[in-house]
Structure 1
């Protein structure tokens, strides 16, 4: 495993992390807690030191699972979690829920209890829309949490460049979590250059396009009820992206699977600190982690990737 600096935070992270959304059990189809725990344990055995979760994943269940694997090794791991969507999960009208700093502090303390820790390494604002009342409340709360030493770094999880700039007034933004992959390169236009210029850490979610970039999906693939991908096969873009993945498969070999190629692509960008693919089983984790030691992309690889993906449906 190779390690990188998380922007200017002074925190060193494994370039492959563990994304703990799927293990929450409410968005990615069936998942067994025992398998999830084994997957996280295997990730840590292989050198992963960055685990990302959120209060809303499984309504807190993901955080409680993470707590079980970090308990005996907390000081050696980098744990990130997010707040902001739990209240909106119950209020889809997006009326301001976290409009006061103390509400955010309360949500933070709920996460601490579930995680069984007294500090968070990276705490994210999980709202992707910019309601100034909530954004300003998060900024105030984050400032307090950092002064108290209960948070080492703060960030936003969003793909909205305007929101990032608004949040970063005064240069207070430490980390951005964003969606970036071979099939979604929008972040290259503004957000990644912005983060690189300001030495803001970048955590990449969706590097495997929710499994699309493993190369395992076909037009016959069906996703169960309750899976966020359930409606994909009916979408116009689905077939087009399958075709693009098929073209990219020409870059795979015994030394590099499709998923590993996809992870190497996002790690190739100089702004990226860590990619956080999910993993429901130890076997999936092993495949992800091996990307850290897979061959770097060549100029020829990059030329083919450009020809296939620059026109990718976003």
Structure 2
């Protein structure tokens, strides 16, 4: 067993485990009424959870201005408070939203909106700089994105951000941002059920951090839905958009996905790990550049995920066994 401690985010040292703050944004919707959050949330519990994470050595917190239409950033800023310097904050821009109605309106990839969004995020977070500033429009035009990359370089010179990245599952787009000196990472989906070999290879080639969203497959790798239960109303998984696989309309988990989880459960839970801890260990074993950012809503969830640090990565043999079971080998 190898205890995990830290990863490198450019020249910034962060905990090997981060926390994703999407869920703590609470409920929000698009203009058609599609839920985009994870349901109702207790803000005070969210604050306690962030502070507990700091106590447990977790220093990396990922949010976005759109999560909860600004609410996630406000909660994170409140939770960090005077402990701001203990944390590394990552946030995102590109989506346009109405804070009062908590409604996502659209996207804006203009440099003018980029600066406006950064100013607003700094205010909501109660900080004078963003450690990692990420483009949230995963399918933005690469040529237009190059202009945003150049403005990120200007933000670094102004001391407003320390580094930047693109949150995208497209290696071609990720490479566009990586041409900038201040680009230190790619945020992309990666988990036991949804590997990302091209993006992991890109991160290795260009010496970028791999920030892993959906490391627990939207909850499927926690075991929470093994009994057929489903997320409640107001949760994005109850009416999943096309880009969110693994759940059907109404929120029922896809049986095929649950069968795949069951197939690797014994390996992931070996040595006393919980299923979620094993899934995080898989990511650390998958690449030395991975930084998983599981979501949370409670102190208990933070404590369980933080417990994975004591177990560290799966062994090479366990990693190969999982790959063989899921038919991922290239032989």
Return the TM-score normalized by structure 1.
Answer: 0.90
| Secondary structure in 2 matching 1:128 | coil
Which residues of 2 match residues 54-73 of structure 1 at below 5 A?
54-73=64-83
* Aligned residue runs from structure 1 range 120-199, under 5 A: 120-132=130-142, 134-169=144-179, 172-185=182-195, 187-188=196-197, 190-199=198-207
Deviates more, 1:246-255 or 1:203-212: 246-255
For the structure 1 residues 296 and 137, does the alpha-carbon distance in structure 2 shift closer, same or farther, using more than 3 Å as the test? Answer: closer
- Measure the CA separation in 2 of the matches of 1:244 and 1:257: 16
Q: Distance in 2 between matches of 1:170 and 1:14?
A: 24
Q: How far does residue 137 in structure 1 lie from its aligned partner after superposition?
A: 3.3
Deviations 1:43-89 (A, max 9, x none): 11100011111000000000000011222112221011100123597
Matched residue count: 305
Q: Superposition pairs for residues 61-100 of structure 1, below 5 Å?
A: 61-86=71-96, 90-92=104-106, 97-99=108-110
Q: Return 5+ residue gaps in structure 1 as ranges.
A: none
| CA RMSD, 1 decimal | 2.3
Give 2:231's aligned residue.
223
Pair 1:290-2:307 in alignment? yes
Say whether residues 1:308 and 2:325 are aligned partners: yes
What is the CA deviation profile of residues 82-123 of structure 1, one whole-angstrom value per residue up to 9, with x for unaligned ones? 00123597444x6xx232x23201100000000000101110
Which fold has the larger relative contact order, with Cα–Cα distance below 8 Å and residues 6 or more apart in sequence?
1
Counterparts in 2 of 1:226 and 1:237: CA distance versus 1, 3 Å: closer
1:31 matches 2:41: yes
Q: Does the CA-based 8 Å contact 1:155-1:174 persist in structure 2? A: yes
Structure 1 residues 134 and 41, CA, compared in 2 at 3 Å: closer, same or farther?
Answer: same
Note if contact 2:145-2:177 (Cα within 8 Å) is conserved in structure 1: yes
Structure 2: any 5+ residue segments left out of the alignment? 28-36, 240-246
CA contact 2:132–2:164 (8 Å) conserved in 1: yes
Following superposition, the deviation at residue 147 of structure 1 comes to 0.9
What is aligned with 1:212? 220
Runs of 4+ that moved beyond 6 A: none
Q: 1:46 to 1:58 in 2, by over 3 A?
A: same
1:229 shift after superposition: 0.9
1:268 partnered with 2:285: yes
Moved more, 249-258 or 114-123: 249-258
Cα distance in 2, alignment partners of residues 90 and 62 from structure 1: 14
The alignment partner of 1:220 has SS state of: coil
Q: Deviations over 1:181-219 (max 9, x none)?
A: 00001x21x111111121112211111011100112136
